[in-house]
Structures are given as structure tokens and as C-alpha cells.
Amino acid sequence: MQAYLGKPYARNGKGPEAYGCFGLIWRYCKDLGVAMPSECWTLRGSWTIDNYGDLIDLDRPFAESVMWAVLERIGTPVKPALAVAGDVLVVRHHEGGIFPAIYSGNGHAIGAFLAADVRAFALDGENYAIAARRVR
């Protein structure tokens, strides 16, 4: 996780210099050598991992459906309460939106954020996991 923490946010960044929210997950899976279907990162039509950040601004509900579709193709599902360090999460923010993150253990995860770059955050009443995928 240290390789990702503190890196700057970039809307469509997929590392290693900067990351977008989904680009962080893409790089993490790539760094692990996670096998995924070849179409996994071609996100319904012309949306790809290279322009996913633009889709969020254009149509957030559709972007979230695309995120779900991609995450369902990697790893295996686990109950969020049983997540272990390294699992990929879908996290719900208290304002209602969802975003991908990586569970880092001890009730914390890391994610890429527009105003805060790649950082660790607590999974609590503000942010809580609603899905988890074991990718290792």
C-alpha cells in the first residue's frame, strides 16, 4: 500500500505517478498480476480506464453501474465484514455516492480523492464497505 499512498490525484490517472479513483484499482490489480477478462477495462462502449473519470462528471449513476460491472469480473466476492488487507472494496460515502478502494486492514482503506490525493481513511459511519472482492 505504501507504493500508492501520498500520490497525487489525476482524473484519469492510472499510475504510477498519479491516480484517479478507478485508476488506483486498475494499477493495484495490474501490480498484483491479477488475471481479468480482456474486456474488463473496456467499460461499456467507448468508456475505458483511460477516460472513466470523465464519465463520472457526465453521468455519475451510469459511471457507478460501469464500476459495478467491472468489479464483478475480477476476483471473487467476499462479505465486506470478512474483508482482509488487499481486498478491493466498493465504499458508500455518507452523502450517498460510491467509490472503489483497497482494504488496508484494521478498519481502514485507501482510495484516490480529488481534494486529498491517495490517502488512507477509516471505514466507519461516514464511509462503509458495501461490497468486497478478493483479488489475490
What's the CA dihedral at 78, 71, 127, 49 to 10 degrees?
A: 160
Q: Are 20 and 63 in contact (CB under 8 A)?
A: no
Domain tally, the chain: 1
Residue 5 lies in a domain: no
93: domain CATH number? 3.90.1720
Residue 1 lies in a domain: no
Residue 100 lies in a domain: yes
The three-point CA angle 57-61-62 to 5° equals 85
Residue 16 lies in a domain: no
Locate 126 and state its grid cell.
461516514
Give the pLDDT of residue 43: 63
Residue 2 lies in a domain: no
Structural domain including 29 reads 21-134
Residue 116 lies in a domain: yes
Give the pLDDT of residue 117: 96
Residue 125 lies in a domain: yes
pLDDT tens string, the chain, 136 residues long: the values are 899 999 999 999 999 999 999 899 999 999 999 876 655 666 667 778 888 888 888 898 988 988 888 888 889 999 999 999 999 999 999 888 899 999 999 999 999 999 899 999 999 989 999 999 999 8
Taking Cα atoms as reference points, which of 111, 12, 115 lies closest to residue 58? 12
Give the pLDDT of residue 38: 57
Residue 10 lies in a domain: no
